[in-house]
Each structure stands twice: as C-alpha cells, then as structure tokens.
Structure 1
Amino acid sequence: MFIGFDYGTSSCSVAYMQDGTPSPIALEGDNIYIPSTLAAPTREAVTESLYRFYNIVPDTQNGQASLRRAVAVNREEGIELAPGDIAFGQAALQQYLSDPEFTYYVKSPKSFLGSTGLRDAQLQFFEDLVCAMMANIKQRSEQALQEHIDDTVIGRPIHFQGRGGTLADQQAEAILLNAAKRVGFKHVEFQFEPVAAGLEFEASLTEDKIVLIVDIGGGTTDCSMIEMGPNYRHKQDRTRSILGHTGQRIGGNDLDIHLAFRQLMPEFGYGSLMRSGLEMPITQFWNPVAINDVPAQTDFYSQANKTRLQELYKNAREPEKLARLLQLQQSILGHGVVRRAEEAKIALSQQQQIQSQLDFLQDEVTITLTQQAMMESIQAPKLKMMRLVKEAVDQSGVTPDVIYMTGGSAKSPILRQTVADLLPDIPVVGGNDFGSVTAGLARWAQMCFGVSPSSVTEK
C-alpha cells in the first residue's frame, strides 16, 4: 500500500488513492490534519520512547550512543516512561499549555532540518523527532486502513529553511529519508510541494495552461511556473515543464512571529524604557517568539539570560511588564504567545478588530488588535513572499495564464489580494488550501508505486 505524505511545517496530512481519487486519512479524531507538534516529559524521552514503545532501533553508532545517553539522563532524573507519555498534535499543545515548565515541547521541527552548524548529536535528535512524528502518523494510518503501508511519496519545499543552500537541502532531505526508513517505509520518493499542489489542480484542467503555483506553507513559500494540462499530466518526468521556481524560508509562521513581536510583546516590555532613558534591548523580545530559530530560543531560555532579565527588571521604568517577561522565560511560554498571534491573524482576516487574551499569564492581559495593525506588523515577511512571486515570473520569461494559490496561509484574503495586485488581470484561483499538496503527493505515489514499487532514492 502507498500514501502521499505531507510532512508540513504547521501540520501533517496523508492520503491514499481510492477509485482514482485522493482520499485523506483522519489522523486526530475526525481531523485529517494533525499539528506538527510534539510534547514529552523531557527531551531525552523522545529518543528512549522510539526504542521502548515503537520498537524503532537505532541504525547507526551515533544513534545507539544517543539512545544510551537518553536512557542515562532519564534515569538520573528519576523519569520512568510509560506508553502515551509522548503526545502529538493538539494533545501536545494542551499538555504544554497546562504544564509548560515541566514539558518539553516542539513545534514545527521541519523548520530546523536545514540548519547549519549542527553537531552529529543534534542531527540525530532531529531525526528522532521526525521519526517519532512519522511513526505516530504511519501507525494511525495503518489502523484506519487496516493495511500495512510500505511505500510513500514525501513532499518537500524547493528550499528548506536554512542558510546552507544545496547542502542544507540535502541535509534536511536525508533526515526525512532516514526517519521514513526507520519507521518502516520500504520505498520512498520525494516530490516538490508546489509541484504536488499543481498536480491536484492539473487534474481539473481541460486544456493546457501555464500555471503560477504560489504555495504559502507554515515555514516556507514556494512559487513555481509550470506547464500543465491534459498533455502533461501523465508524464512521469515533469522537469521540462517547470519553467521557473523560487523558494525561501518565509511562511505563515513568520507572519505569526512578526505579529506576536509587534503587537503582543509590548505587554512584556518591548518598546519600553529603562530608568536611564534607553530602550530595552530588542533581542529580549524577539528571541522568545522566534520559535523557528534554535539559537535564539536556546539563548533566551538559558540560565545566563535569566540573570540578564532580572537586571533589566531592576532598571525598568515599567517593571510590571518585565515581570511578565521573566515569567515567560521561566515558564517557557513563548509558544503560547505565538499561538495567540496565530489565532489573531486568522480572526483578523475576517474582522476589523478583535480582543486577544494572554490568559496563560499570572495577571491575565487583554489586548485590542486591529486589522490595520496586523497588516503593518506583517509587512516585512509579506514583501519577501511577493518578491518570490515576482522572481518566479521573471525567471520563466512568460506570463502565467492562471495563478493557483495553496497552502495554509493562502486562505488569507490579504495575501490573495496582494498577489492579485502584483499580477493584475490574471485570475487567482484556489482549492483545498491545506489538502492540495497531500492530494498531489498521493497522485504522484500512484505514478511511482501503482504498478511496481521503485527502490528508495535520494535526490
């Protein structure tokens, strides 16, 4: 059996082919999307649980060493793991919000896979994180279908988040491939996410068109100019029909982060003054919400930074705000702030003004947010996204017949209108904003495995 697997930055989903049509599989209750989140008692619990409860044995010396370290650390801290201690999706978020100080919580590990300068132990741990999430999804899918799933096509962005260029992309794809093999997929292929999204749209075309696919996901934006239609849809090699593509580590998460920074962090002291008249250092307010930046998060939650924050509190003109920042640091609440910003972004796409409540703080704070303030806050990442759209068109040297927008953030009427303004008189269409990539991956899986499964490949 084969599936298309969208291992997304914000959420994951899978689909199989049923009577020639992609069919999604429920992964969390009746929901076909499961947030890309994981919660555990400790960081080391993730690695130990793979071996203890999923029967996933490390396949390298580095992996075996990581497992030994994880078991030793958990024993030293008196942690005895039980089945179910690792939570995924909404359950992971709820576990984190209910007990943030004693929960190891990860959102969007895909954002970290292309990071440069990672040590072998860090690479191994990221692989374990991906492995745990894939194992959970594969297990749930097999339970739903009552069949073993051996083959998969996994979606990948044109460029993963990371500054290492081709090497970063190779590193990220290798982590995904190794994790997929460890959880039991025998045959694995990869397909670019915007191409997969286009395959689903192509199934509806009755004539050939040049399509600009704008895929705005949680962590990346990818834009591809592709020749599509009846004369292309059955070709296994689509390389020649790709006229141009661009991609960058900018996505819906960045909109959330910028909104959190500009509109919510002032309640924690951003923009306030010290007694000397100097402004508070900006990094102390950016780092806690920069949830896709490992070094920023590590620095903010360090013990050394706690000392720095205590000094800022003593010298603040508005110490009550710095007290909130100290609480945020000590209770590891940065994800909660960004979550409120994400909720506000969604609500402000339809309303002019909303009330956002930071109800996870000791002194609950209510903030009034406006659509205009949101648009100003997300201006920088929005401009980067539109630059990618323009560069894809310029690179191809042709004008698209139609613009197909997909991805979770493509639902935003603000982004859709911005694209329409950038390329006037070209129709902008959309489909299943979250599901088009998954459906396209399932179609490609049928191309790869429908007759006879191919061998595992690394591109």
Structure 2
Amino acid sequence: MTTVSCGIDFGTSNTSVAIDKDGEISLVPVEQSHVTIPSAIFFQRTDNKGVYGRMAVNLFLDREQGRFMRSLKRVLGTSLMKQGTVVNGVSMNFSAIITSFLEHVKNKADLTAGQEIEHVIMGRPVHFVDNDPEADIRAQAELSVIAKRIGFKHIDFQFEPIAAAFAHEVRLSGEKLAIVVDLGGGTSDFTVIKLSNKYIHKPDRTSDILANTGVRVGGNDFDKELSLSAIMPELGYRSTYGDKNLEVPIKQYQDLAEWSKVNFLYTTKLIMQTRQILHQSHDKKRYSRLLNVLEHETGHTLLSAAEETKIALTDHQQHKALFDFIEEDFSITIKRDLFEKSIHGEVEKIAASARQCLQDAGVKKEDIDLVILTGGSTEVHSIQTEFKRLFPNAAIADENKLSSVGLGLAYESRNKFGNNGFH
C-alpha cells in the first residue's frame, strides 16, 4: 500500500487538511462538502459530547444548553493548558479538548484516504507566543503530543506562511521573489521566499527561504478592538459608579471581547460584583446590559456580532449590528472609519513585522515581485490598503485564502515522506 501523507492547518479560526494520495494533492471535505471547518467545539449539556465546526456554532447560536469554545489554538504554550476549565460541571484539560477536535478532523482525512494516515506535516505560526521562546517550544511540543495521541506516527512541522507559498508556487513560471502575508485569527506571519514551479520537488528549500517573522496579532484582535470601541460602551464600558465617580472594572469588558477568555466570565462571584456595582451605577441602562450578558452567558453571541460587523465592513461603509438577544430593538450602527481607527495600532504592528521580514531577508520592498495574501483577515480594507501601499509594484495573489496553508503542507508532506515511507 502506498504511503498517504497529509498536511493539517489547525487555525485559530478555521482548520483544513489536505492529503497526498497517489501523487495527487487534494483538500479533504472536513464538514459536509466544505474543505474548511471552523475551529469550534460545542459540548452538549446532556452528555458532554463534542459537536464540531459549523454545527457547533449553530447549536450555540440556537441557544442550546452547553459550552461553546473557540480560538483553542491560542491556549497552546500558555498556563491555561495546565489549568484546564470546567465544561458542564466536568473538569477538562485543554489538551484533551484540542485532541477531540483534531481527532475529528483526522477521521475525515482517514475516510477520504481509505486508510489510516500515519504521516503528517502540522502547520505552525512563526511564533505561537510573542517574545517567549520557551512558551513557543512548549506550544509545538504540546501539538506534537496531541498529533501522536490521535494516531500519527511520523510528525513534522512547517511555518504556515511557507506552506502558503508552496501552494501558490505550482502555478508560477520563472522565479519570483515573494512575500507571504498570512493573517489568521490569532497570528500574522510573514516569509520572504524565492518561488518557481521548477523548485516544487526540491527536498530541501532552506536556501530559498530568506526570512520569517511573525506577531501574535490577527483577526480575533480586530474583533476585540472593534468590540471595545463600538459595542462595549453601550454595555457601560468606561462608565462610572458610586460617590467617588470610580470607573467600572474594565477587565470583564476586555475578556468579553476576546474569544479565548469569554468562557471564564460566568462566575457567581463576578455576577454578584456586577449586580452590586449596578446599584451605584451612573448609567444603569447601559451597565444592566453587561449584567444581562453575564447572567445569560451570551458573550460569544456578542463577539459573533462584532465578527459579523468586521466582515460586513469589508464591503460596506457602515453596518447595523443587532443585539436583540440583550434587549428588544437594541442595535448599534457602526461605521467603517471607526473600525479602521480602532485597529490602527494592530495594523501598524502587522506592517512592522512585514517590514522586519524584508530587513531580515536583506531585500528592498521594490525587489518583491509577488505578494501572497492568505488567511481571512487579509480581506480587511485597512490591510489591503496597507499592503498595496507597501508593495506598489508587486502582483497580488489571494486565491484559496482559507485553504492554501493546508494545501501547501500536503505538498511539503509529499516531499518529506514520499511514497515509500519518509526520507
């Protein structure tokens, strides 16, 4: 039997897997006919059984009883991995939660391959955790343990932007100097690389990769900044209470605006504290909305509205976001310029990391022939504008935004493992 290998792009927001079978690289339908699956799990309250992807999102939005989780990749390498969390009254560690999601994805790949796949290239960001090499090593090790646990015997890793480059290289003629701009939900990664369709079967591409940089800023951070600037003020953010005109605690607002932290807010202690402050609030109408969200555990619904607004503002100058799950007829009209202003600092961090990549590679921006945009966050208007400004002479390639990393990882798996076991 020929060796079937695969590449798995476990993303903060979405996950894809591609297989190399009989020399053919193809994406696996991971959820019905979809070749990407939201990196989301819903644990049903009745039996604590995990439901994944779009189905998980839908169960959650339909207000089914249970626990919804997203952005699990951001937990890798952090203290939360050891800490774990309580799911429907049962203590669970994050390693087991991530294992259950990735096992679900691997089962789809095995089914498509018609055999159990033992060889994998896992994608990874340039930095799982910024400015913390030990946490970075720990995160990769944790992902490697999970890959072994779900049945992979031969495991290797590749930076996600390099994988995206490999996916685009197939269609190139002649050599091009490219920068890959990979903007996911949790990280933004960059690679300056020499590409040509003549290089596709080279087993070692080290000499073609000129530099890698990355920063822990992504689409989830855009959601957070948009939420804090446009939505949270309508829930009493930055309002005051009591005789001394103290500002209300801001930590719960910040956690409520971050996908990976929402689940930790629904504690009796915090709800009691919020009720006490409400009695002394100078803006009871707005602050009572915060209490409503905490009591009804609708933080993820709130963040989904922020994400929908971000996506809507890609094509429109303004968007009316509905929050009727908090209060009847409650909506906020949000303008694109407010969104762009709120994420200005994040866009600058992303651009700075791209400029650093050029500097590390020893090339000028004028030398770049091709800009490869991958990841959903590259759709954001400010990002498009910034990278067209940075590279006015380069061609822009942005097809397969959500699946190019998975495809590229499968090309890498073919080169690494071949058809007769691995080299």
Q: Report the TM-score when normalising by structure 2.
A: 0.90
Q: Does the CA-based 8 Å contact 1:267-1:321 persist in structure 2?
A: yes
- Once the two structures are superposed, residues 124-169 of structure 1 have per-residue CA deviations (whole angstroms, 9 ceiling, x without a partner) of 8221111101111122233344332222211111110x35622112
2:39 to 11, 36, 51: 36
| Correspondence list, 1:28-427, <5 A | 28-41=31-44, 81=47, 85-99=49-63, 102-116=65-79, 119=82, 125-160=93-128, 162-163=129-130, 165-274=132-241, 276=243, 277-292=245-260, 294=261, 298=264, 300-399=265-364, 400-427=368-395
Name the structure 2 match of 1:74: none
- How much has 1:8 moved relative to structure 2? 0.8
Distance between the aligned counterparts of 1:371 and 1:352, measured in 2? 5
Q: Does the CA-based 8 Å contact 1:115-1:164 persist in structure 2?
A: no
Give the direction of change, closer, same or farther, for the CA distance of 1:231–1:28 in structure 2 (3 Å limit). closer
Bigger Cα displacement from structure 2, 397-406 vs 356-365: 356-365
- How much has 1:40 moved relative to structure 2? 0.9
Name the structure 2 match of 1:437: 405
Give the direction of change, closer, same or farther, for the CA distance of 1:411–1:117 in structure 2 (3 Å limit). closer
- How much has 1:253 moved relative to structure 2? 1.0
Bigger Cα displacement from structure 2, 331-340 vs 439-448: 331-340
- Once the two structures are superposed, residues 12-63 of structure 1 have per-residue CA deviations (whole angstroms, 9 ceiling, x without a partner) of 1111236755311111122111110111146xxxxxxxxxxxxxxxxxxxxx
Give the direction of change, closer, same or farther, for the CA distance of 1:237–1:166 in structure 2 (3 Å limit). farther
Give the direction of change, closer, same or farther, for the CA distance of 1:197–1:120 in structure 2 (3 Å limit). same
- How much has 1:333 moved relative to structure 2? 2.0
Distance between the aligned counterparts of 1:244 and 1:232, measured in 2? 18
- Three-state SS of the structure 1 residue aligned to 2:277 is helix
Give the direction of change, closer, same or farther, for the CA distance of 1:438–1:269 in structure 2 (3 Å limit). same
Q: Does the CA-based 8 Å contact 2:314-2:380 persist in structure 1?
A: yes
Give the direction of change, closer, same or farther, for the CA distance of 1:140–1:441 in structure 2 (3 Å limit). same
Give the % identical residues: 31
Distance between the aligned counterparts of 1:247 and 1:153, measured in 2? 20
What is the identity, as a one-letter code, of the residue corresponding to 1:5? I
Name the structure 2 match of 1:10: 13
Name the structure 2 match of 1:60: none
What is the identity, as a one-letter code, of the residue corresponding to 1:113? L
Give the direction of change, closer, same or farther, for the CA distance of 1:163–1:211 in structure 2 (3 Å limit). closer
Q: Does the CA-based 8 Å contact 2:35-2:403 persist in structure 1?
A: no
What is the identity, as a one-letter code, of the residue corresponding to 2:28? I
- Three-state SS of the structure 2 residue aligned to 1:205 is coil
Give the direction of change, closer, same or farther, for the CA distance of 1:118–1:28 in structure 2 (3 Å limit). closer
- Once the two structures are superposed, residues 416-440 of structure 1 have per-residue CA deviations (whole angstroms, 9 ceiling, x without a partner) of 1111112333333222111110110
What is the identity, as a one-letter code, of the residue corresponding to 2:190? C
- How much has 1:234 moved relative to structure 2? 2.4
- Three-state SS of the structure 2 residue aligned to 1:368 is strand
- Three-state SS of the structure 2 residue aligned to 1:361 is coil
Give the direction of change, closer, same or farther, for the CA distance of 1:382–1:437 in structure 2 (3 Å limit). same
- Three-state SS of the structure 2 residue aligned to 1:219 is coil
Q: Which has the higher strand share?
A: 2
Unaligned runs of 5+ in 1: 43-78
RMSD: 2.4
Q: Does the CA-based 8 Å contact 1:411-1:433 persist in structure 2?
A: no
Name the structure 2 match of 1:52: none
Give the direction of change, closer, same or farther, for the CA distance of 1:454–1:166 in structure 2 (3 Å limit). farther
Distance between the aligned counterparts of 2:136 and 2:92, measured in 1? 16
Distance between the aligned counterparts of 1:30 and 1:315, measured in 2? 53
Q: Does the CA-based 8 Å contact 1:156-1:192 persist in structure 2?
A: yes
Q: Report the TM-score when normalising by structure 1.
A: 0.83
Distance between the aligned counterparts of 1:91 and 1:450, measured in 2? 35
Give the direction of change, closer, same or farther, for the CA distance of 1:124–1:198 in structure 2 (3 Å limit). farther
- How much has 1:408 moved relative to structure 2? 1.5
Unaligned runs of 5+ in 2: 86-90
Q: Does the CA-based 8 Å contact 2:69-2:263 persist in structure 1?
A: no
Name the structure 2 match of 1:65: none
Distance between the aligned counterparts of 2:290 and 2:175, measured in 1? 55
Name the structure 1 match of 2:88: none
Q: Does the CA-based 8 Å contact 1:97-1:360 persist in structure 2?
A: no
Distance between the aligned counterparts of 1:186 and 1:118, measured in 2? 23
Give the direction of change, closer, same or farther, for the CA distance of 1:19–1:185 in structure 2 (3 Å limit). closer
What is the identity, as a one-letter code, of the residue corresponding to 2:317? Q
- Three-state SS of the structure 1 residue aligned to 2:93 is helix
Q: Does the CA-based 8 Å contact 1:35-1:89 persist in structure 2?
A: yes
Distance between the aligned counterparts of 1:115 and 1:445, measured in 2? 28
